[in-house]
Amino acid sequence: MTVSVHTDGPVAFVEIDNPPVNAASHAVRAGLMDALAQTEADTAVQAVVLLCAGRTFVAGADVREFGKPPVAPLLPDVVLALEGATKPWIAALHGTALGGGLEIALGCAYRVAVPTARMGLPEVALGLLPGAGGTVRLPRLIGAMPALDMMASGKPVGAARAFELGLVDAVREGDVRTAAHAFALEIIDVDMPVPLSARDVPEFDAGALHQRIVAIEAKARGQNSPKAVCEAVLNATRMDASEALAAERALFLRLKDDPQSRALRHIFFAERSVGKSLPDGSALPLEHIGVVGGGTMGAGIAVAALLAGLRVTMVERDADAVAAGRTRVVEVLDGSFKRGVLSEDGHAHCLEAFSGSVDYGALAEADLVIEAVFEDMDVKHAVFEALDAVVKPEAVLATNTSYLDVGQIAQAVARPARVIGLHFFSPAHIMKLLELVIPVGADPDAVATGAALGKRLRKITVPSGVCDGFIGNRIMSAYRRACEYMIEDGALPADVDQAMRGFGFPMGIFEMQDLAGLDISWAMRKRQSATRDPAERYVDIADQLCEQGRFGRKTGLGWYLYDGKSAQVDPEVTALIEATSARKGITRTPLSEDEIMGRILDVMQAEGRAILAEGIAARAEDIDVVMVNGYGFPRWRGGPMFMTSEQGAEI
Ligand code: 3H9
């Protein structure tokens, strides 16, 4: 039984058991209606505790049902029915009461939570809004502004904050069933509270609400659901509850069929299923991680591991470099502490768990070592030879290279099968994406250990085969080349960047290069020049910029001219681009934003298809996950491969 009812004296316990997250699927909704009828009919029952088995209270509607026609009873009707119960229902919250789950709780007369419970309405992240009365009941319970903030951000709040907001009536230690039972006995003789939909929204500052709505809509950058949330909150403040509920339903149905929500649901499930097809292997227990290299990347990786409770030893070439690496680590940890993401104890613990050394011997007991040194095969080989001489036989060796051949790096050690790639993205302690690069012949246990580290660091770990740039950088190189062709053909960097921003990227490719610095890729191009196919079209505009010392933001000049933080089009760069086109005999033809984005998408999708055909990515959705989480591809568009399939094209 998905929903069962047990009575204990005057209290009935209605328990939902629908693993893994007790989603409000059809069986749950129907079960709740039956339980309501049963408890209403049972004259011995005076109060009802609604609770869930397993790890969490209901974590939302069953998102897998959204692609199918809805089947009654619908969740909004179930919540309405619960709200109409003649006996008090007490939602007993543990785990994560999210979306439709929290809306069910809002239909109950009371909410009791354990201290670890979290509550939120995250629908916006799925391109939706709360569609089972949340937009109407939450403002009536906690006020319009806090409700708007919760629904527009989608971020859950902890039990203590929920109590402050008035979202829960009590926070009780211990087992949720016992706590809610005790609460039920306390309120059994008290008059039932007025149902939320029969209440008014508490007074609020209309001007401040309006300002917040303007800010949310500006930040939405083309995404529809935050705007719909704002509209629904305004409805909740202006309409009576039944009108507002009807308006919410209409908005919800419109969003559910919106391609943006389909795209966001696609990414939601793609992220959760990533890596499930990895070969079976046993992960080595992870406690002690080694990091070779204390630059920005090495320090970021060290912090990510420290924050996950691992011990970290960083090895650098000399005492000064060790000190500089340590300083970087401490700075990042201090920043996390100041932002409140790390407690004082946690901060102290991380510092204690970190050590630096000039001696590779300090890595003798490490379970996994990640190399994050200069991108040069000889340098990498030297590091791996040194590691091979000291680490324990079962330790996994990983390289953080972003494009070198991991298989070739592995040749530096006696047992190459223990070598994998772990390609982090900067800043490594923040970015969610991790490419797990698997060379041919890699030991499945080493791969499983890499995947386990990714999980421990709470990364989205996407497996990739070995090729130049792996999944993400390979696609980025391809479309960057296409963008360079376009500026030679007639567009200007600002046109390309504007088209990308208009599409939903946080910034365009040229702005991004200026931010990252043009000199690093210049050095790489110089190294590659000997092996470049002379027949291949090559755009040398970036080289010309570098020859003039224009390395991007850090030098105040790059593709743009920088005045403080703002980027301005530089007529000198425009002249240089036009002169280059003329030198090559190209008649420049301006390109529209649609043409620019069309070309970028074509190239991304073609490269994605090649990556799939070569077996570099296991699934098309893995490519989407990489582009969305590492390269700024707008999440609400689902990724380049999702867009291909939506257009009905074969992948
Ligand atoms: C909504 O409620 C609309 C209503 O307002 C209106 C309705 C009319 N449905 O993330 P995990 C699966 S919209 C179906 O790895 P965790 C997930 O795919 C919904 N399946 O675990 C995975 O499956 P598998 C609003 C779901 O512990 C498994 O559960 N709610 C759903 O890291 C474990 O998931 C949300 O947006 C679902 N709603 O995190 C909450 N949720 O084992 C979305 C999860 O086959 N969920 N699954 O790979 C989450 O944020 C996280 O899953 C949660 C657990 C925090 C709950």
Ligand 1 contact, 75 CB (< 6 A): yes
- Whole-model pTM? 0.92
Secondary structure (3-state) at 154: coil
pLDDT digits (tens, 9 = 90+) for 473-523: 999 999 999 999 999 999 999 999 999 999 999 999 999 999 989 998 898
Decide: helix, strand or coil at residue 227.
helix
- Are 108 and 50 in contact, with CB atoms under 8 Å apart? yes
Question: Which one of the listed residues 15, 83, 123, 271 is annotated catalytic?
Answer: 123
Tokens 């190239």, residue? 603
**In 63-110, which residue ranges form alpha helices assigned H by DSSP?**
75-83, 100-107
Distance 536 CA to ligand 1 centre (A): 47
Average pLDDT, the chain: 95
Element (H, E) at 478: helix 472-489
The CATH number, out of the four listed (3.40.30.10, 3.30.499.10, 3.40.50.2300, 3.40.50.720), of the domain defined by the range 288-464: 3.40.50.720
Q: What is the dihedral of CA 268, 271, 272, 278, to 10 degrees?
A: 160
Asked if pLDDT for residue 6 goes beyond 80, the answer is: yes
Those residues whose C-beta lies under 8 Å from the C-beta of residue 206, and which sit 6 or more positions away, are none
State which fold the 478-615 domain adopts.
Answer: N-(1-d-carboxylethyl)-l-norvaline Dehydrogenase; domain 2 (1.10.1040)
| 95 in contact with ligand 1, CB cutoff 6 A | no
What's the confidence (pLDDT) of residue 649?
Answer: 65
Residue nearest to atom 27 of ligand 1 (CA): 21
Q: Give Cβ neighbours of residue 125 (< 8 Å, ≥ 6 apart).
A: 154, 264, 268
Pocket test for ligand 1, best of 25, 52, 62, 63 (most atoms within 8 A of CB): 63
270 CA → ligand 1 middle, Å: 12
* pLDDT band per the 50, 70, 90 thresholds, residue 651: low
Does the pLDDT value for residue 563 go beyond 90? Answer: no
Strand partners, 47: 11
Q: For the chain, give the percent of residues with pLDDT over 70.
A: 100
Query: For the sheet containing 433-437, what is the strand order?
Result: 354-357, 311-315, 288-292, 368-371, 396-399, 419-424, 433-437, 460-464
Nearby residues of 530 by Cβ (< 8 Å), 6 or more positions away: none
What whole-number distance in Å separates Cα of residue 386 and Cα of residue 315?
11
pLDDT (tens digit per residue) in 97-125 = 999 999 999 999 999 999 999 999 999 99
Joined tokens for residue 586? 């190209």
Q: Count the neighbouring beta carbons within 10 Å of the beta carbon of residue 67.
A: 10
Which residue has its alpha carbon closest to ligand 1 atom 56?
A: 59
621 is catalytic: no
Residue 123 a catalytic site member: yes
- For the cut 80, the answer to whether the pLDDT of residue 277 exceeds it is no
Find the 421 Cα to ligand 1 centroid distance in Å: 30
Residues 271-288 have a mean pLDDT of 91
519: Cα separation from own chain's centroid: 30
DSSP state of 157: E
- Residue whose tokens read 């993401």: 341
C-alpha angle with apex 456: 455 to 462, nearest 5 degrees?
25
Residues of the chain with CATH 3.40.50.720: 288-464
CATH 3.90.226.10 domain range(s) in the chain: 3-257
Span from the CA of 623 to the centroid of ligand 1 (angstroms): 22
Residue 75: burial class (beta carbons within 10 Å; 0-12, 13-18, 19+): buried
Counting from 1 in the atom list of ligand 1, the atom nearest the Cα of 21 is: 29
The pLDDT value recorded for residue 650 is 61
Please choose, from the candidates 599, 481, 597, 649, the residue with its C-alpha nearest in 3D space to the C-alpha of residue 222. 597
78 lines ligand 1 (CB under 6 A): no
Residues shown for the chain: 651
Give the residue among 185, 266, 548 at the shortest CA–CA distance from 561. Answer: 548
Q: What angle do CA 502, 503, 506 make, to 5 degrees?
A: 75
- Pairwise CA distance, residues 485 & 591, whole Å: 12
Contact 541, 487 (CB under 8 A): yes
For ligand 1, whether the C-beta of 122 sits within 6 Å is yes
The vertex-570 CA angle with 566 and 572, nearest 5°, equals 160
The number of the ligand 1 atom at minimal distance from the alpha carbon of 56 is 56
Output the CATH code of domain 3-257.
3.90.226.10
pLDDT for position 525: 87
State how far the alpha carbon of 487 is from the alpha carbons of 196, 483, 506, 524, 552, in Å: 58, 6, 20, 21, 17
**pLDDT reading at 534 higher than 90:** no
Instruction: Write down the residue that tokens 């929204």 correspond to.
Output: 201
Q: Is 458 in the pocket of ligand 1 (CB under 6 A)?
A: no
Residue 35, pLDDT score? 98
Question: Can you tell me which atom of ligand 1 is nearest the CA of 64?
Answer: 14
Protein residue with its CA nearest to atom 8 in ligand 1: 131
62 CA from centroid of ligand 1 (Å): 8
For ligand 1, is residue 407 a contact (CB within 6 Å)?
no
> Does the beta carbon of 133 sit less than 6 angstroms from any atom of ligand 1?
no
Best of 2, 16, 21 for a ligand 1 pocket test (most atoms within 8 Å of beta carbon) = 21
Q: Is the CB of 577 under 6 A from ligand 1?
A: no
Q: Where in the chain is the domain with CATH 1.10.1040.50?
A: 478-615
